[in-house]
Structures are given as C-alpha cells and as structure tokens.
C-alpha cells in the first residue's frame, strides 16, 4: 500500500488523550520533523526546514502513549499519511496527519526503560532462526 | 535514496555491544519480524511468515541501546537495508542487515520511560507551528 | 533519513515544465492518491479517501518527464515529503509536496515502452550476482 | 504494515513469465540496486555496494510487465520484502524477495510511452482538488 511514512521528530504539544462515546481511545499531538541537508561550505549537516504533522494513535497504542509520551520527547513514528482539508466556521485549512501503526522513543537521543503490557510475558518466535552462523563483528 | 525500510519486530538475541579498535561503538542483534495477512475464512489477522534481520547500530545510537534494549523487547527500527554475502571457512550465506538510523520500543506492546541524554535538556523548535487552529477531535 | 514516501496515484493536472533563470529544469503537477480499505460488509476493497500532493521533479528527471507524463497517467513516485505553508495576497494555505527522486508509470495499469537517454547504452553491473541458484518458480 | 520497501535499480536478468496450473500469472527477475555514498575526498557521490533482490509480480502487474520490461532497464519498485530460506538438494541459501505492488521505468534514466490497459480509458477523480490556488513556481 502506498502513503506509508516513517518520521523522526520532536513532540511539540502535550499529547491529548480522549475516549470517544463509542469507547475508542485516541491520542493525538503535533510533531515537528526537521529535515537535514549537507552544507558543503560549512562541511556539516544543518537543519533545512521543518515538517509539521498531527500524529494520531488509536486503541492499545493510544492507551500506552499516556504514561510514555511527553512534550519535548524525541520519537520515531511509522504509519499512514492522510492529507485532510478542514473547515471551521469561515476558516479553512489542510492538516497533514499520520495515523500511527507504531511509535517509539528515538534511542539516538536518550535511553528508555520498557515494560511490556500486551500479550504473553514470554514472547515466542514461531520459526527457528536458520542463520545462527552470522559472522562475528 | 532507496533501500530504506521500517520494521517492527521482536529482539531475538541478546544485543552484543563492542567498541572497535578505532573507538567506534557498535551494537547488533537479530530481529524477527512477523508478517500478517487477513485470513478470510477465520475472519481475523494471522501470522504469515517471519523475516529475520541483523540490526546494527553505530555511535550514539549504539551507546544508548545498551541500557535500553533486551532480548524479547518489541521495537520499531528504521534504516538502510544491506544484503551481504559472507563466507566463513567453507560455508557461505547471505545476511540481511539493517543499518539503523532510529530504534525505539514499540508502544503498541508496552509502556516506556525515556531519559534524554543528547543535546540540550530543553529542546527548542526552530519554526513556529502555523497550524494552531487544528480542529478538535 | 526520514520523511521519505512512496505514492501511487493519478496525474490530475497537465504537468508544467519550466527552466529557471539559473538554468534549472523543473516539472510539477498535482497527484491524486486514493487510499483503499477492506469493506467487510461488501467483501471487497473500496476507495476510502484521496490524498492530494504536488509532485516536483528537478534536473534530468524533470527533462525526461516532458515527453513521458500526461494528465490521467497512473504513476509511482518516491521522494522526500515537504509540508509548506504559503501566503498569496490575503490567502494562506498548506501545500503537501513531494520532491521526486524517481517517477515511473505504474505497470499495474498499463504497458510502457522505455528509451534510455542517460548513461552508457550498455549498463554494467559492478558486482557478480552470487545467487545464480535461485530455485525455479 | 512493516517490511514495505521501495527500490530503484537495474534489471539484471531476462524477466521470466509463467502461468501456474491454477492460472496465476507470475513474472520474476533479479534486480541490482547500487547504493550511493558521498565521498568527501573526491567531492562526489560514488557507488558503495550493491543489493540484489528477486522481484516477483503477480496477476495484472505480471501480465503488463511482459511487453514492458527487459534486461538492462532501470526501474523503481515498491512492495513487500520477504526473506526466504531455501534448500535445493544439498545446498541451502537465502533469497531476498520483493513482492511488487507497483513497478515503473525510472524516468531519471530515460523516457517512456505509456498505454493504459486497465480500467476505464477516462480515469475519474473522486474528490475535487481543493487546492487550485497552488502558488506559481
């Protein structure tokens, strides 16, 4: 399927968590993703421009974000992009939204301690890894 | 650039962390990524097959994985795919490797507590978010 | 790098080709990408919503699109996403732009005849393919 | 979904087209995808290494590749990655396969003439493009 995107960036608003009347948990926040380009004159990578996204998570992922994510956190998100036009009284605009399939803290920027809440505590792998003989580093 | 991939999966081996003679920190481990397909007869998603990857992280990302990642953790990884042929005495094989750009715990499966170690403790956003008027959920 | 996206869709406007005063060839057009979801009641895939993008190509890719792409063509595009806010007199808006790295006709929807214009006519492959023994279908 | 990948590369073998006993059309070929890195000493991009993939297409996409694709063509492919272990008599190996969702000639390297074979000749766009006021280049 197309329109799948992976983004790294900074949580720019305090995540809002709601449960709809139908019982659907939803978390949403704004994410700032700075793009980098190599500046040959300065001989280093510099920030080029920033893309802004609205990230939305549903169900179990939404529930797990509540104790995990805060404004200012650096994260990695993968999900489906949706470009939505909206109208609010006499104003109109375009929202660039990512419906998240996975969200995690970006370990490039820090360390994280993980507590598993879903599924059996002892995860099993269905197939045998046939490549035990990976050459040593 | 092509060959960029995002994977969610289960850490299947205890991560190995080494520092090369040149001082380069490297972490590597095997990741099992189960693919899902919709079984119409059973009317639910089922595991179809499992892809095995060797995930490799360098520098700061490698350092931060040490206190963060353990065998059995569910993670999301984005990076560059490399298909390498190797030879070891009289054996040969193919390793499917992802050189990670970002790694995070997959919050679909649990909660995480994040401690920032890189950069200023108070992250700043370079541009003003022009889309304050995002319609309420 | 993040913000890379691959899209399949329909060219919705006649591509515009310009060369800037600095001699930079640019082609741009609007692309409509319909997302699909599985309708369980109807037991088939249906169009869910449509994402609109402005696709921009530069240099050699821009030049090659001129005799190749027309309004109504089905294509596949991969490139870097850019979310741009713009102002025009008293109007403002958001443009969702993809700076294309590759564009091709989507062979799901038709056939194509290709004429190579760049590089040596006899392409060479740098490495030997070590996997001659791929099992027959 | 994870394990989706987009690749640009060179068709390295003559595409094989078969129809199974069940009537399923399949096309497959080997693709060489050269990765590039920036060589600071030489101040230019150079080929770093080559990833080899087996590309497989099914159904209508497989049928349309027959008159369209030849050994030596430069293409862009998006699809689902599958890492398969195989055994052939006393030999074993690993195949890195991409089940294609879309394939197109890469217009960076040449021009293409497209003939639509699927669906109504006059494609319709379901939604009105609300962003007619895209600023001029």
B32-78 confidence digits (pLDDT tens):
998 777 677 777 777 778 999 999 999 999 999 999 999 999 999 99
pLDDT confidence of residue A43: 76
Task: Give the chains touching A; criterion: ≥3 Cβ pairs < 8 Å.
Answer: B, C, D
Q: B-chain residues within 8 Å CB-CB of A71? A: none
Tokens at A121, concatenated? 């505590």
Find the closest chain B residue to C77 by CA distance: B2
Tokens at D2, concatenated? 């994870």
pLDDT confidence of residue D122: 45
Dist CA B77 CA D13 (whole Å):
32
Q: D-chain residues within 8 Å CB-CB of A130? A: 85, 92
Mean pLDDT of D19-44: 88
pLDDT confidence of residue D91: 78
Q: Which string of b and e fits D1-31 if b means at least 16 CB within 10 Å?
A: ebbbbbbbbbbbbebebeeeeeeebbbbbbb
Q: C-chain residues within 8 Å CB-CB of B92? A: 130
Q: How far is A44 from chain B (nearest CA, A)?
A: 17
Q: Does B1 touch chain A (CB under 8 A)?
A: no
Q: B-chain residues within 8 Å CB-CB of A130? A: 52
Q: Does A120 touch chain C (CB under 8 A)?
A: no
Q: B-chain residues within 8 Å CB-CB of D83? A: 51-53, 96
With bands split at pLDDT 50, 70 and 90, how would you rate the model's confidence at C101?
A: very high
What is the DSSP-derived secondary structure letter of residue D35? E
Best mutation site among B92, B107, B129 for testing chain A: the one with the most A CBs within 10 Å?
A: B107
User: CB within 8 A of B2, min separation 6: which ones?
Assistant: C78, C101, C102, D6, D7, D8, D9, D33, D35, D76
Tokens at D60, concatenated? 């209508």
Tokens at C130, concatenated? 């070590």
pLDDT at residue A129 tops 60? no
pLDDT confidence of residue D77: 97
Q: How far is A49 from chain D (nearest CA, A)?
A: 18
What is the DSSP-derived secondary structure letter of residue B108? T
Q: Note the helical H segments in A16-113.
A: 59-65
User: CB within 8 A of C15, min separation 6: which ones?
Assistant: C27, C28, C29, C65, C66, C69, C70, C71
Do B51 and D80 lie within an 8 Å CB cutoff?
A: no
What is the DSSP-derived secondary structure letter of residue B121? S
Do C81 and A5 lie within an 8 Å CB cutoff?
A: yes
Do B102 and A108 lie within an 8 Å CB cutoff?
A: yes
* Ramachandran class of D67: left when φ > 0, alpha when ψ lies in -120 to 50, beta otherwise: alpha
Predicted TM-score (pTM) above 0.95: no
Helix, strand, coil percentages for chain C (3-state, nearest 5): 5, 60, 35
pLDDT at residue A12 tops 80? yes
pLDDT at residue A115 tops 60? yes
Tokens at C36, concatenated? 């699909």
Distances (CA, A) of B48 to A13, A130, D16: 38, 17, 26
Find the closest chain B residue to C1 by CA distance: B101
Backbone angles phi, psi at C41, to 5 degrees: -60, -45
- Selecting from D2, D6, D36 the residue whose C-beta is nearest the C-beta of B33 gives D2
Best mutation site among B27, B66, B111 for testing chain A: the one with the most A CBs within 10 Å?
A: B111
Q: C-chain residues within 8 Å CB-CB of A8? A: 2
pLDDT confidence of residue D129: 54
Q: Which of residues 5-44 of D touch A (CB under 8 A)?
A: 38
Q: Which of residues 61-80 of C touch A (CB under 8 A)?
A: 76, 80
With bands split at pLDDT 50, 70 and 90, how would you rate the model's confidence at D71?
A: very high
The DSSP element (H or E) to which A53 belongs, if any, is strand A44-58
* Ramachandran class of D91: left when φ > 0, alpha when ψ lies in -120 to 50, beta otherwise: beta
Q: D-chain residues within 8 Å CB-CB of B2? A: 6-9, 33, 35, 76
User: CB within 8 A of B78, min separation 6: which ones?
Assistant: A6, A8, A76, A78, B4, B5, B6, B7, B100, B101, B102, C2
Mean pLDDT of D28-55: 84
Dist CA B33 CA B10 (whole Å):
6
pLDDT at residue C127 tops 60? no
Find the closest chain C residue to D52 by CA distance: C129
Of A92-106, B111-125, C45-59, the range with the lowest mean pLDDT is B111-125
Provide the β-strand partners of residue C44.
Answer: C39
Do D96 and B94 lie within an 8 Å CB cutoff?
A: yes
Do B2 and C94 lie within an 8 Å CB cutoff?
A: no
CB B104 within 8 A of CB B76: yes
CB D28 within 8 A of CB D57: yes
CB A31 within 8 A of CB A7: yes
Do C94 and B131 lie within an 8 Å CB cutoff?
A: yes
Dist CA D94 CA D87 (whole Å):
9
ipTM > 0.95 (yes/no) = no
pLDDT confidence of residue D41: 78
Q: Does A108 touch chain B (CB under 8 A)?
A: yes
Do B68 and A10 lie within an 8 Å CB cutoff?
A: no
User: CB within 8 A of A31, min separation 6: which ones?
Assistant: A7, A9, A10, A11, A12, A52, A53, A54, A55, A75, A77, A98
Spacing of C-alpha B95 from chain mean position: 16
Dist CA B20 CA B27 (whole Å):
11
Q: How far is C122 from chain B (nearest CA, A)?
A: 23
pLDDT confidence of residue B119: 67
pLDDT confidence of residue B129: 54
Task: Give the chains touching B; criterion: ≥3 Cβ pairs < 8 Å.
Answer: A, C, D
Do D6 and B1 lie within an 8 Å CB cutoff?
A: no
What is the DSSP-derived secondary structure letter of residue B33? E
Gyration radius (Cα) of chain C, Å: 19
How many Cβ atoms from other residues are within 10 Å of residue B121's Cβ? 7
CB C103 within 8 A of CB D104: yes
User: CB within 8 A of C29, min separation 6: which ones?
Assistant: C11, C12, C13, C14, C15, C16, C54, C55, C69, C71
How many Cβ atoms from other residues are within 10 Å of residue B119's Cβ? 11
């Amino acid at each position: 399927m197309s329109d799948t995107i992976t983004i790294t960036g900074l949580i720019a608003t305090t995540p809002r968590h709601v449960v709809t009347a139908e019982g659907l948990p939803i978390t949403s926040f704004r994410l700032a993703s700075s793009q980098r380009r190599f500046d040959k004159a300065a001989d280093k990578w510099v920030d080029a421009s920033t893309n802004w996204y609205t990230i939305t998570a549903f169900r179990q992922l939404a529930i797990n974000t509540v104790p995990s994510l805060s404004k200012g956190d650096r994260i990695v998100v993968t999900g489906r992009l949706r470009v939505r036009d909206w109208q609010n009284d006499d104003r109109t605009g375009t929202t660039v939204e990512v419906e998240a399939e996975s969200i995690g803290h970006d370990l490039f920027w820090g360390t994280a301690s993980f507590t598993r809440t879903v599924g059996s505590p002892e995860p099993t792998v269905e197939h045998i890894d046939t490549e035990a003989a990976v050459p040593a580093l």
